[in-house]
A and B are shown apart, each in its own frame.
Chain A
Amino acid sequence: MARGVGWLVLTQASEKAIPWLFRDGVDALLAGAFGSVAHTALWIIALALASSVVRTASRVELFDVGRDVEFDLRNALLAKLHRLGPSFYRTLTTGDIMSRATNDLQQVRLLVGFGGLNLVNSVLAFASAIGLMIVVSPRLTLLALAPYPFIALFATLFARAMYRRSNLAQAALARLAERVQEDVSGVRVVRTHRLERRQAERFEAVNRESVEHNVALVTIRGLMFPVLMGLSSIGTLIVIYRGGLMVLAGSLSVGDLVAFNAYLAQLLWPTLALGYLLSIVTRGRASYERVADVLARTPLIDEDPDARAAGDEGALCVRALSYAVDGRAVLDRVSFEVPARGSLAVVGSTGSGKSTLAALLARLLPTPAGAVFLDGEDITRLTLRSLRHAVGYAQQEPFLFSTTVERNLEFALPPDVAIGTDEARARLRVAADEAAVIEEIEAMPERFETIVGERGVQLSGGQKQRLALARALLDAPRVLVLDDPLSAVDARTEARILSGIERAAEGRTLVLVTHRIAAARRADRIIVLEEGRVQESGTHDELLARGGHYAKLAARQRLERELEAEEGAVAEGLAEGSA
């Protein structure tokens, strides 16, 4: 910063020296001292070149500071976001977070870079220009500066009005977006109810409002310069008239007058900048507060100061685990045990708390202390990184990154496997095979190199789930927690995948959350969750014999499967008949 200010001082000095030399030149020209004029001109040229260099340097130096601050803030923000859990993401939408990471950070950067540069520069410019003007003529200085308080005042008012009006215009644009969003989302209802005209009218009302706000905004934006430049021209007018009279009276040279006028002109931009500065400070401060708000959040899931690494057996024990969200109990004293290399299925209807249970096992939600134990160790006393390496988790609604299939899978490769090696590639293929997705990957336009997501190949829900499953298998965790990872996969493929997982899970502990009996029955033990409580537990046969909820569900699903088979047969029969 100090160096930047140094450059600014030099910039101002050279900027002020040129009119001064010009003054000498004009006076010499008038006096007929032509040799001295040429001399002055050479000096001006030399100074002009020097000033180009220092001016460049000062801008670079000071704007870079803003960019550096932005860089650091961005990194800090993501690091913080990584540590925050679902309770935070429920309070802020992705859009909110993004607007803080983009618009707000930009405002903060402007505050530090542009704001800093202009504050220092304006102070320097005022001091030097007014100082030199006083040297030329104190009386004329007083007169010429008369419009400047007004310029400053107007600049401030304009900046403030612009800020307010641009907020209004932005809000109007957001309302327009809402209208379009509603119209497109409800397009079927709009069309069948012939609401097109009515929708267009409602849109037009907001559209008109938007025009009003925008015209108000751009009028201010457009009015600003004519007004401020008009005011500054009044200063020039004063200089020409009063200064001219002084020249006529002999108390001022023409050169003095020209230099004086130049200094006055050089005041215009710093004055405007000060007006801008006020609004940048207001905005920047509000933005900084929004960014700082995120940075100041305390993560609910925090590492114990003397946390230990997780063991490598994989025995899971849950004791009286209760969990509530907003005062509503989601899990109520759930207890079960899975020995190392054993398997457990969790069955239950929607809203029974099974997904919450799955997330708590990997401490992806704030797991209470003393409830979940891994190899006899309370998981809240383990380092997060080792715990999550030990407990692999595949969620029901999988998220894939918008990059290639290969990179999505490599994401989960253990850190000791180097990417791009034959071993790494072999592992990817094995995992993709176990998740029964390899054939589809091979059928994609660029196989493992195919980009998935919005700008790539669109995957079906089932394909996404299977890719996510392959990813979970790659991490090679001791405990594999699968949260209904195959809800969008048909029953036949599911059976294939489950066999694959069983092979892969050999020597691994498996917790499978599912709504399918066909999948659950493969587990050593099954628990049935209902409204957050363990309602039944036992092996598949035990539960069937009991004739409870599980048995009912099993009967129903058997019927469904038969039906599906039959329906397929009927449809095929019809197809043959019509062919």
Chain B
Amino acid sequence: MSAARVTLDRDAARRAGLDAVRAANVRPPMESGGEERVYDVALLRRLGPFARPSLVLFVVAGLMVPLIALSGLVQPLLLRAAVDAMVIEQSAAALSRVALLFGAAIVVEFIARFAQTYTLQLGGQRTVAAMRRATFEKVQRLPLAYLDRTPVGRVVTRVTNDTDAIGELFASGAVLGVADLMTVFVIFGFMLYLDVPLTLVTLAVLPVLLFVVQWVRVRARRVFRLVRAHIAQLNAYTAEQVQGMAVVQAFARERECLAEYREINAAYRDANRLSIRYDALLYSSVEGIAAVTVALVLWYGSIRAGWVEPGASAAYVGTVVAFYEYVQRLFTPIRDLSTKYTVLQSSLAAAERVLVLLDHPEEDAPRDRAASAPPPSVTGDAVLELRAVTFGYREGQRALEDVSLTLRRGERLAIVGPTGSGKTTITALAMRLYDVERGSVAIDGVDVRSLDRDALRERFAFVPQDVFLFAGTVGENVAAFAKTRDDERVRACLERVAVWDRVRERGGLEARVEERGANFSVGERQLIAFARALYLDREILVLDEATANVDSLTEARLERAVATLLEGRTAIVIAHRLSTIRNADRIVVLSKGRIVEEGTHDALLERGGLYARLHALQFAGEGSLASPAVPAGSEP
């Protein structure tokens, strides 16, 4: 069958002309399918704090281990008693008694198994949930610089799939691998109690079994890693083909890519076939060895009954039958130990990845205020001060260079400059999203590094350029998810920025906001974000004006809304609209991370410098002030 299929497949390949085709050579590098590593107890101990609240559950699950072992393993013993009742005592009463005990053992085993499963899973899931919670909260405290350079998908994987893999430790029962080992020893205990020489016969087979299991295990695991590496490459290739389909099609390289894909696919299939063979070998040989053991027990039983203790054969039948049962029960845990070890390995590898994230340094804690308080500000009404600030997102790259800037109470300060000149960086440093390299940032004369982060950020209302709405309702978004919310005021704010009519059409404050506000237009999203800033009514407003193309009607609405928002407020505006800039009290012109000009609109125009040029450009076209022509990669 399989041979026929392969031929068929080859025919199809020839029809597609793949034989003559040079395979494309664009497969992603192959990853190792995971290292075989020994995880130490220290790693397990780190999981302890997450498991501790569920300790009672785990203790109950642990207590069930001996109960399950005893109630289960007493059954073959009862079987012997039943046989004895038949052939030696030949008494129906004795048989009934044994049957009754057997029934009791079944019930106890069932209850104990259920109790163990339930407590273990509940505890396991609670532990996973605790880890997940800790990981999520950790993410919230990680430095922005870390999140900037880490793909979002990786962070998501840590919090979801990796913690889920830890849960598999409990769900698969791998955590009870130790209990399985214990079972093996209990079985030997029972066997020894039954008959010492017969136990020794069984033991004689054990080295063969262990050798076979180990031989297969080592190879099967190597193949398993190979399979994983191949499937990873196969999936990566598929994903790249889908993402880069336009390239594949534009170059007409479909056949070449398919030819390469078939190679990877075949390697994956072959690795799997190898894995199937080892798996089949393991199962069959364990079954086979079990059967051989049974035969040896039977045979040795006959020798004992025949020559060593003649006449006792009736007494021996029950023992042989019980051994038959024990041999079956003995081999299964030994066979499955390998599988459980694999689960354990991958769970611990996931745990390690999660712990690495949990160990990552967080945003710096506020410094001791007294120790680092800078001298009081010279100008008494300065709310925010940047003093000779130098900062870069990456080593060797400067986003800001020696920038000094003061924002006075009630002042509206506009920052103007081409893309990549460092405008957004100034606002990020003011709110301490990053720490400065040199110089200092102070609020009311106090270094932001010595302020409590929450207290610091509570003084700002921030409207970013890419407005971000959260999944939820409009009301929740405007009130920034405050526990108690003043619906009247939320509505008033939406009305003030003239977006209430649109919101009302969609169901008012309870209108659904989809993930990232995808069900609202760009203009609507901005207006809602303005309403949020109005509602929060913080001391300092930070507005990063968007440059996105919107229709002229929306543009007019936005312009009015910005004016409303800025009314009588202390604000820093990264401005792109001429009206916004004109209405500012002072303008700072930024170029390549430095302040090059500063002053009012009229004074700067008169000066005829960079600002005047930017301004002329604004009138030359209808676009924004920001120049689109910037070398790529100058800002993260």
Q: Which of B189-197, B244-252, B370-378, B488-496 contacts A (4 or more CB under 8 A)?
A: B244-252
Task: State whether A79 touches B481 (Cβ < 8 A).
Answer: no
Provide the bound-state CA to CA distance between A410 and B258, in Å: 16
Within 8 A of A (CB), among B319-343: 320-321, 324, 328
Cβ of B526 under 8 Å from chain A: no
Task: State whether B613 touches A226 (Cβ < 8 A).
Answer: no
Task: Report the minimum CB–CB distance from A476 to chain B (whole Å).
Answer: 11
Task: State whether A194 touches B140 (Cβ < 8 A).
Answer: no
Provide the bound-state CA to CA distance between A248 and B99, in Å: 14
Cβ of B235 under 8 Å from chain A: yes
Task: State whether B433 touches A78 (Cβ < 8 A).
Answer: no
Task: Report the minimum CB–CB distance from A425 to chain B (whole Å).
Answer: 14
Q: Which of A60, A176, A200, A453 is the one whose CB lies under 8 Å from B137? A: A200
Chain A residue numbers with a CB within 8 Å of B252 are 384-385, 387-389
Task: Report the minimum CB–CB distance from A485 to chain B (whole Å).
Answer: 12
Task: State whether A191 touches B457 (Cβ < 8 A).
Answer: yes
Interface size on A, residues (CB 8 A): 172
Task: State whether A461 touches B633 (Cβ < 8 A).
Answer: yes
Cβ of B411 under 8 Å from chain A: no
Provide the bound-state CA to CA distance between A257 and B1, in Å: 41
Assess A241 versus B629: contact at CB under 8 Å? Given A230-B106, A234-B106, A560-B617.
no
Cβ of B180 under 8 Å from chain A: no
Assess A182 versus B516: contact at CB under 8 Å? Given A38-B299, A176-B159.
yes
Task: Report the minimum CB–CB distance from A215 to chain B (whole Å).
Answer: 5
Interface string of A232-255 (1 = CB under 8 A from B): 011011001100110110000010
Provide the bound-state CA to CA distance between A182 and B418, in Å: 29
Within 8 A of A (CB), among B454-480: 454, 457-458, 460, 462, 464, 468, 470-471, 480
Within 8 A of B (CB), among A345-387: 350, 362, 364, 384-385, 387
Provide the bound-state CA to CA distance between A214 and B128, in Å: 10
Provide the bound-state CA to CA distance between A370 and B245, in Å: 26
Task: State whether B631 touches A462 (Cβ < 8 A).
Answer: yes
Q: Which of A336-344, A411-419, A496-504 contacts B (4 or more CB under 8 A)?
A: A411-419
Q: Which of A176, A190, A227 is the one whose CB lies under 8 Å from B132? A: A176
Chain A residue numbers with a CB within 8 Å of B242 are 81, 89, 94, 97-98
Name the residue in B113, B126, B252 with the highest tally of chain A Cβ atoms < 10 Å from its Cβ: B252
Task: State whether B28 touches A185 (Cβ < 8 A).
Answer: no
Cβ of B316 under 8 Å from chain A: yes
Task: State whether A55 touches B249 (Cβ < 8 A).
Answer: no
Within 8 A of B (CB), among A237-295: 237, 240-241, 244-245, 247-248, 254, 257-258, 262, 265
Cβ of A324 under 8 Å from chain B: no
Provide the bound-state CA to CA distance between A410 and B289, in Å: 55
Task: State whether B262 touches A75 (Cβ < 8 A).
Answer: yes
Provide the bound-state CA to CA distance between A5 and B159, in Å: 46
Task: State whether B99 touches A402 (Cβ < 8 A).
Answer: no
Q: Which of B272-280, B348-356, B572-580 contacts A (4 or more CB under 8 A)?
A: B272-280
Task: State whether B1 touches A1 (Cβ < 8 A).
Answer: yes
Cβ of A495 under 8 Å from chain B: no
Within 8 A of A (CB), among B551-605: 591-592, 594, 596
Cβ of A139 under 8 Å from chain B: no
Chain A residue numbers with a CB within 8 Å of B5 are 65, 68, 72
Task: Report the minimum CB–CB distance from A62 to chain B (whole Å).
Answer: 9
Chain B residue numbers with a CB within 8 Å of A47 are 291
Cβ of B96 under 8 Å from chain A: yes
Cβ of A3 under 8 Å from chain B: yes
Chain B residue numbers with a CB within 8 Å of A203 are 133, 136
> Closest A-chain residue to B253, C-beta based?
A411
Interface string of B75-104 (1 = CB under 8 A from A): 100110011011100111001101100110
Interface string of A562-579 (1 = CB under 8 A from B): 111011101100110010
Interface string of A58-97 (1 = CB under 8 A from B): 0111011101101110110011011111100100001001
Chain B residue numbers with a CB within 8 Å of A233 are 75, 106, 109
Provide the bound-state CA to CA distance between A362 and B290, in Å: 67
Assess A226 versus B113: contact at CB under 8 Å? Given A207-B132, A219-B121, A411-B253.
yes
Within 8 A of A (CB), among B1-37: 1-2, 5-6, 9, 16, 22, 24-29
Within 8 A of A (CB), among B413-470: 418, 428, 431, 433, 454, 457-458, 460, 462, 464, 468, 470
Q: Which of A23-31, A130-138, A520-528, A529-537 contacts B (4 or more CB under 8 A)?
A: A23-31
Task: State whether B125 touches A401 (Cβ < 8 A).
Answer: no
Q: Which of B44-52, B147-155, B218-226, B498-506 contacts A (4 or more CB under 8 A)?
A: B147-155
Task: State whether A29 touches B320 (Cβ < 8 A).
Answer: yes
Task: State whether B632 touches A460 (Cβ < 8 A).
Answer: yes
Chain A residue numbers with a CB within 8 Å of B110 are 226-227, 229-230
Name the residue in B136, B240, B285, B306 with the highest tally of chain A Cβ atoms < 10 Å from its Cβ: B136
Task: Report the minimum CB–CB distance from A284 to chain B (whole Å).
Answer: 18
Assess A411 versus B26: contact at CB under 8 Å? Given A67-B269, A178-B515, A490-B631.
yes
Total of A-B residue pairs, C-beta within 8 Å: 473
Within 8 A of A (CB), among B279-304: 279-281, 283-285, 287-292, 294-296, 298-299, 301-303
Within 8 A of A (CB), among B105-128: 106-107, 109-110, 113-114, 117-118, 120-122, 124-126, 128
Assess A29 versus B316: contact at CB under 8 Å? Given A180-B160, A388-B249.
yes
Cβ of B266 under 8 Å from chain A: yes
Q: Which of A22, A237, A559 is the one whose CB lies under 8 Å from B616? A: A559
Range for the number of chain B residues in contact with chain A: 35 or more
Within 8 A of A (CB), among B185-215: none
Task: Report the minimum CB–CB distance from A312 to chain B (whole Å).
Answer: 15
Provide the bound-state CA to CA distance between A51 and B257, in Å: 44
Q: Which of B125, B235, B239 is the one whose CB lies under 8 Å from A211? A: B125
Provide the bound-state CA to CA distance between A205 and B457, in Å: 26
Chain A residue numbers with a CB within 8 Å of B292 are 44-45, 48-49
Task: State whether A571 touches B594 (Cβ < 8 A).
Answer: yes
Provide the bound-state CA to CA distance between A259 and B86, in Å: 16
Task: State whether B117 touches A26 (Cβ < 8 A).
Answer: no
Cβ of A222 under 8 Å from chain B: yes
Chain A residue numbers with a CB within 8 Å of B306 are 32, 34
Task: State whether A215 touches B125 (Cβ < 8 A).
Answer: yes
Provide the bound-state CA to CA distance between A195 and B468, in Å: 13
Task: Report the minimum CB–CB distance from B11 to chain A (whole Å).
Answer: 12
Cβ of B314 under 8 Å from chain A: yes
Task: Report the minimum CB–CB distance from B157 to chain A (whole Å).
Answer: 8
Task: State whether B632 touches A82 (Cβ < 8 A).
Answer: no
Cβ of A315 under 8 Å from chain B: no
Provide the bound-state CA to CA distance between A63 and B284, in Å: 15
Cβ of B614 under 8 Å from chain A: yes
Task: State whether B99 touches A211 (Cβ < 8 A).
Answer: no
Chain A residue numbers with a CB within 8 Å of B524 are none
Assess A29 versus B298: contact at CB under 8 Å? Given A67-B276, A461-B632.
yes
> Closest A-chain residue to B123, C-beta based?
A215
Provide the bound-state CA to CA distance between A454 and B114, in Å: 46
Task: State whether B243 touches A399 (Cβ < 8 A).
Answer: yes
Cβ of B610 under 8 Å from chain A: yes
> Closest B-chain residue to A383, C-beta based?
B252
Cβ of A432 under 8 Å from chain B: no
Interface string of A203-235 (1 = CB under 8 A from B): 110011011001101110111011101100110
Q: Which of B90, B288, B542 is the one whose CB lies under 8 Å from A51? A: B288
Q: Which of A192, A491, A566 is the one whose CB lies under 8 Å from B433? A: A192
Provide the bound-state CA to CA distance between A497 and B171, in Å: 59
> Closest A-chain residue to B136, C-beta based?
A203
Cβ of A183 under 8 Å from chain B: yes
Assess A571 versus B591: contact at CB under 8 Å? Given A67-B273, A204-B133.
yes
Provide the bound-state CA to CA distance between A189 and B147, in Å: 14
Interface string of A7-27 (1 = CB under 8 A from B): 000000000001000100110
Instruction: Given contact pairs A181-B156, A215-B122, A254-B321, enumerate 7 new A-B contacts (beta carbons under 8 Å).
Output: A25-B298, A25-B302, A51-B284, A59-B279, A184-B147, A402-B29, A407-B26
Shortest 3 CB-CB contacts between residues of A and residues of B? A222-B117, A48-B291, A460-B633
